[in-house]
Homo-oligomer: A and B are copies of this chain.
Amino acid sequence: MSGSLEVGMETTEGFEVPTTDPVCIVGGTGALGFGLALRLGQAGVPVIIGSRDGERAKEAAERAGKAVPGGRYSGHENQDAVKGTELVILSVPFRSQSETLTNLKQALTPEHLVIDATVPLAAAVSGKATRTLGVWQGSAAQQAQEMVPEGVRVVSAFHTVSAALLADLGHELDEDVLICGDSKEDKARVARLVDAISGLRPVDCGRLEMARILEQLTALIISINVRNKVRAGIRITGLPTP
């Protein structure tokens, strides 16, 4: 595995697109994971779609390839998928987060940076999607940090971006991705990945413990969507324009 996410430029089908190390999306067959796969593939990032079911992963990779001509996709069972890259987006329902991380214990190494997008919506226990569960560690991301093997770092991100808008490639994104984590270097690496997706801006929100707040924002966005019949996102005002 190479040591850093280098964003260069190469020409694919006449367009200059950034190239980076591959990204693995555990739960890449789900709505958010698949939406991210489409956008990252479009940005020139090779995407390894992971799923508990290797066949479903392959099928999703084929579907993504059809939606994004020129996109580089492959599909594998989660444990194999994470072996192909250092950057792992964890995009599974909260009820599956713990089991998924347990199954990845042998596959994750200190080279891995896990980008946790898990949100403890009360929907996990048949509650409302506008409410969240209390997580003993403080947040799903902190639970992930506790569960991954020693040396694996966790950054929390992608809580407020609509899966439907990500998947709608005709839609121009125009919102922020709030990021938190304990290492500036890791956050910068995730920020470069976010930056590669057109219309998304990364915002550093502080230490990993801030995931307690960031994860709540999914419930807030869902509540705003219901009230206003929209697909809302978040922009932080007052920051220098990108």
A233-B238 in contact given A130-B210, A204-B228, A213-B216 (Cβ < 8 Å): yes
A224 part of interface (Cβ distance < 8 Å): yes
Which residues of A177-232 are within 8 A (CB) of B?
A: 178, 203-206, 209-210, 212-214, 216-217, 219-220, 223-224, 226-228, 230-232
Number of interface residues of A (CB under 8 A): 36
A125 part of interface (Cβ distance < 8 Å): no
Which residues of A21-59 are within 8 A (CB) of B?
A: none
Could you say which residues of chain B place their CB within 8 Å of the CB of A174? 237
A175 part of interface (Cβ distance < 8 Å): yes
CA distance A35 to B212 in the complex (A): 29
CA distance A234 to B214 in the complex (A): 13
On whether the beta carbons of A210 and B228 are closer than 8 Å, the reply is: no
Could you say which residues of chain B place their CB within 8 Å of the CB of A227? 204-206
CA distance A217 to B236 in the complex (A): 11
Question: Quick one: copies of this chain in the complex?
Answer: 2
Q: How far is the CB of A180 from chain B (nearest CB, A)?
A: 8
A206-B233 in contact given A220-B213, A220-B214 (Cβ < 8 Å): no
A1 part of interface (Cβ distance < 8 Å): no
Q: How far is the CB of A192 from chain B (nearest CB, A)?
A: 17
On whether the beta carbons of A213 and B219 are closer than 8 Å, the reply is: yes
Q: How far is the CB of A123 from chain B (nearest CB, A)?
A: 15
Chain A residues in the interface with B (C-beta under 8 A): 130-131, 162, 165, 174-175, 178, 203-206, 209-210, 212-214, 216-217, 219-220, 223-224, 226-228, 230-240
